[in-house]
Amino acid sequence: MKKLIKRLLPVVCLLALIAGTTVYAAADDTILKGVSIGGVDVSGMTRDEASRALDAYTQRVSAQTVALMVGSETVEAKLSDFGLAWSNKDVLDEAIGIGRVGNIVKRYKEQKDLQHSGKTLALEWESDKALVKSFVEEQCTKYDQEAQNASLTRENGAFNFVAGKQGIELDVDASVQAILDYLDTGLTDENAEAKVELVTRITEPEGNAEQLANVKDLLGTFTTSFSSSGADRSKNLKSGAEHIDGTVLYPGEAFSTYETVSPFTEENGYAMAGSYLNGEVVDSMGGGICQVSTTLYNAVLRAELEVTERSPHSMIVHYVELSEDAAIAGTYKDFKFINSTQYPVYIEGYTTSDKKITFNVYGKETRDSNRTVTFESVKTSETPAKTILTENGGLPLGHKSASKGSTAYTAELYKVVKVNGVETERTRVNKSSYRGSNRVVTYGTAGDPVLSENLRAAIALQDEALADANVAAANAAAAAAAPPPAEP
């Protein structure tokens, strides 16, 4: 019997060893006491209970704020703004397995370790990079400080140099990575006064005193009159000129008149005045601003800068020749140009007490002194206003009123270059089309049925002379029927 036991003992030990390497030593799937995940004690919890505990912990962590430092500015964000979540779901299996998985020696050691010092497993975090980038772009880039280019002022006919200032620009991609790095490390539900320094870079201003010293020559000038304008329209022209005055454009830099003079509000110096809308004159805020853009257009043409966008008015204007105008309207009509010279240019704009507006373009003159540039407006078609006769049954016989009407035109503008007085170049600058408006004549037809019918017949024939004869007959009949004046 003893011999049999000796023979079976190794087999029994082997079976015990095999049994000791089963995945779980007991059917109980709760986490042993002393196990924590991140900052959460999950002792005695099932997998689902531990998962819910970590979710609740994540909500507490996500509710915390972090200060994003943009230079001297601070932007506060909740961690939930970045889609924060815990990511290592397999940590639950690891927690359940402590002291329960492995051979008997391993299990025993882990259980003893738990009793003495416990075991903390790492909680890993993930965030949504797209949400982080969106937050940075929307909330942090607003603190960018654009570099202020070196500039000029003009006083008493002399230019004064104004030094530029450096700017600060947020490096969005690097800042996003800085936030992601912070979110990847050491988050708890007690992150007091957390800060992340976002990445900025210095932007240098353009221009220097040497460059701007080249601005001394008058390249182009133009003046128009607004002598017939009322106070509000005059105010608009003055405000528009002031918004443009002092502009410095470096080589290759573009200029938009609309962007420079808008918005058209009282706060920005504008008032209600007449302007063109769909071929009619209506009051609008900033009415008359097109005379500002038109005057500037002609100065720019004479400076021979590159015009990139120009539109005519819907109807002709009377302060310049045909095709010399440049309308602005919302964002669909603008006057734009580029400093196409090799040197900076300075734009001076002002109005005078005798109601004139002037723009001067200064820069460095590189053109031949024997070369002159002029511009010629050429009318290519003219369509007189059409007369339309209409009736109004609410007005008495004998009434006649008429709108003014306007002529439609097409025109072209030509640039003429002469050297030593001899024409060397003639180039078409633009083509323009101006709509006309009908002359509408309205007759009253309320009164004698016979006379009214005769007048309607003349209106139907669109015969103004016949209609006027009927009006005269109606007036004569009315005069004959009137009682004689009382004797004094």
| pLDDT confidence of residue 191 | 62
| Helix and strand counts by DSSP (H, E) for the chain | 12, 27
In the chain, the N- to C-terminal Cα span, in Å, equals: 166
Indicate the pTM of the whole model: 0.73
Per residue of the chain (488 residues), give pLDDT as tens.
444 445 544 444 444 444 444 444 444 689 999 999 988 999 999 999 999 999 999 999 999 999 999 988 999 999 999 999 998 999 999 999 999 999 999 988 989 988 999 999 999 889 999 999 999 999 999 999 999 999 999 999 999 999 999 999 999 999 999 999 998 876 776 665 689 999 999 999 999 999 999 999 999 999 999 999 999 999 999 999 999 999 999 999 999 999 999 999 999 999 999 887 766 678 889 999 999 999 999 999 999 999 999 999 999 999 999 999 999 998 889 999 999 999 999 999 999 999 999 999 999 999 999 999 999 999 999 999 999 999 999 999 999 999 988 999 999 999 999 999 999 999 999 999 999 999 999 999 999 999 999 999 999 999 999 999 999 998 998 888 777 766 65
Q: In sequence order, what are the residues at sequence separation of 6 or more whose Cβ sits closer than 8 angstroms to the Cβ of residue 450?
A: none
| pLDDT confidence of residue 14 | 40
| pLDDT confidence of residue 480 | 81
Respond yes or no on whether the N-terminal peptide bond of residue 263 is cis (omega within 30° of 0): yes
- Structural tokens at position 4: 């049999």
Domain edges within the chain: 214-366
Q: Taking the CA atoms of 100, 104, 110 and 114 in sequence, report the sign of the dihedral they define.
A: positive
Cα 366 to Cα 210: distance, rounded to the nearest angstrom: 17
| pLDDT confidence of residue 21 | 42
Q: Contact, 258 vs 328, CB < 8 A?
A: yes
| Radius of gyration, alpha carbons of the chain | 43
- Structural tokens at position 208: 């220097």
| pLDDT confidence of residue 386 | 95
| Kind and range of the H or E run holding 464 | helix 464-481
DSSP string across 335-383: -EEE--SSS-EEEEEEE-TTSEEEEEEEE---S-TTEEEEEEEEEEEEE
What residue ranges in 73-116 does DSSP mark as E strands? Answer: 73-78, 85-86
Tokens 């920005």 correspond to 268
Coil, strand or helix at 60: helix
Q: Contact, 140 vs 81, CB < 8 A?
A: no
Cα 463 to Cα 47: distance, rounded to the nearest angstrom: 97
Tokens 């912990």 correspond to 57
| pLDDT confidence of residue 4 | 44
